[in-house]
Every structure is written in C-alpha cells, then in structure tokens.
Structure 1
Amino acid sequence: MARSGGPVRHMVFCRFRNEVTPARRLAFFEQIRRLTEVPGIAFTNFQCGPNVSPEGYGMTLSDGFMMDFASRDDCFAYLAHPTHQAIGARLLEVLEDGARSLLVFDIDLETHEKPSGKTRPVLHQYRNTGPSGAPQPYD
C-alpha cells in the first residue's frame, strides 16, 4: 500500500492536575511509547518530558511528548487505533481541564519551511556572548 503524504512530527502538550505525580505522568508517556509494539502503529523518535523552558510562554502546559511518523497515513492509523484512543481518554481524565489542557500540533516534515543557510551563523554570533554582548571564551 502506498503511503500518502510525507513524514509528520506529532507533538502533544498538556497540563496535568497537580495531584498527578511525575511517576504517573511518565507512566502515561510510557504507554504511548509502547504503542510502537502494536501491529499497525509505527513511529520513531519518541521523546517526552516536562516543560523546562525558562521563557514563560508555555501557556501553563507542563508536559509533552512527540514522535515522528513516516507518513500521514501512519499518523492517522495511530490516531484512529482503539488502544491509542483508550490511553488518550484516560489522559484527558487526569488533565487540569480535560481537553482544554491539551495542545496537539502536527508538522509536515517534508514540506515545512526550512531555515535558510544564514540561521546558523546568526545563532553562532550570539552563542558565546556575555551580558554585555562581548564575546566570551568557550567553557
């Protein structure tokens, strides 16, 4: 069967209720990771964890996970699978405001805009500067 669409990165961000322990959060993510063992579900690059960004723009979302699918069809098969739906339903029950505490975002990895070659030099320009903007030696 030919796959439609290119590779997709599926990202999910959520806000658990305060009483949901880090161990229980990790258990949900482990259940999702183990879905790759289910026939008909295939993804790679699974990563999960708490939001550690110091920027403060996380919209109160505390945790998240992501994975890559080889095609849109593979992503849709995962989303439609009854085991995924059961885990998702249990996840919604432990979120602060149910589905309102959930953000799902998929990126088409084949056709999304890619940064120009100028991105790395600009980042490099500021990577090793101190508070004054003066270059700092490498650690």
Structure 2
Amino acid sequence: MIRHCVFIRFRDDVAAAARQDIYNDLAALCGKLPGVLSFHAGANVSPETGMDKGFGEGFIIDFADAQARDAYLDDAGHRAIGGRIVAAAAAGVQGVFVFDLDM
C-alpha cells in the first residue's frame, strides 16, 4: 500500500469554502479511480506548536499499490486539481509538500 500525504500552506486570502471545494473534488476523483483505498482531508490538529512549518492543512490518499498511485498522478483530473492547489498555496509550489510512504 502507498500512503500519499500532501500538506498545504494556503494563502490567507483563500476562503475556507474554496479549500473545501478542492477537497470535495479530490474525494470525487478518488471515488472514480481504481486502487484508491481511502481519502482524508482537513486541518492540522497537532498540539506541537510550530512543528507544521505553516503547512496547516492537507490530505492523505491510500492506494492499493504504486501502480494505482501512478495512475492517479497521470490522471487529467488530478493534474487540474493539483494546479488549483498550487495556485491557492502560499508561494505556489513552495507551499505544497508531498510525501509518499510504502506501507
């Protein structure tokens, strides 16, 4: 299983509703793709002040395997939503942190 973790530093002017729209669209995309096991999104709730380095929100997608993750990465819907995330992130791509774990 591959756990795909994405953490975002949203710009201050990106409304909560716009953030939720991104998560809703990701959830819908994940519901259509084979090999997606789960999708979770939301705000950081860690009590460790400052350890998030400003990455206050994010999402995690569990994939059955690397092939399912790679199909997601190649999907046109993913590329479109990814573009929206980068546009909404503070400093563009610098405001997005991606980390995948082989579980």
Structure 1 unmatched ranges of 5 or more: 1-6, 110-139
Identity among equivalent pairs (%): 35
Which position in structure 1 is the counterpart of 2:92?
98
**Alpha-carbon shift at residue 41 of structure 1 (Å):** 4.3
CA distance in 2 between partners of 1:37 and 1:9 (Å): 16
The count of corresponding residues between Structure 1 and Structure 2 is 102
- Higher percent of residues as strand: 2
Aligned to 1:49: 42
Alignment counterpart, residue 82 of structure 2, candidates 85, 88, 91: 88
Q: CA deviation at 1:24?
A: 1.2
| Secondary structure in 2 matching 1:54 | coil
Decide whether the 8 Å contact of 2:9 with 2:95 is kept in 1. Answer: yes
Look up the match of 1:117: none
Q: What is the correspondence of 1:49-68 to structure 2 with a 5 Å cutoff? A: 49-56=42-49, 57-68=51-62
1:36 positional shift: 2.5
- Amino acid in structure 2 at the alignment position of 1:101: G
* TM-score, with length taken from structure 2: 0.92
Between Structure 1 and Structure 2, the one with more helix by share is: 2
Query: 1:83-117 CA deviation, whole Å, 9 max, x = no partner?
Result: 100110111111111110111010001xxxxxxxx
Residue 79 in structure 1 maps to residue 73 in structure 2: yes
In angstroms, what is the RMSD of aligned CA positions? 1.2
Q: Equivalent residue of 1:76, what SS?
A: helix
Q: TM-score, normalised by structure 1?
A: 0.69
Residue 46 of structure 1 aligns to a residue whose secondary structure is strand
Q: What whole-Å deviation, never above 9, does each CA across 1:2-38 have from its counterpart, x for those lacking one?
A: xxxxx10001000111111112111101111111343
Gaps of 5+ in 2: none
Q: Name the SS for the 2:54 alignment partner.
A: coil
- Report the Cα distance in structure 2 between the residues aligned to 1:24 and 1:41, rounded to whole angstroms: 27
| Higher alpha-carbon Rg | 1
The runs of 4+ residues in structure 1 deviating greater than 3 Å are: none
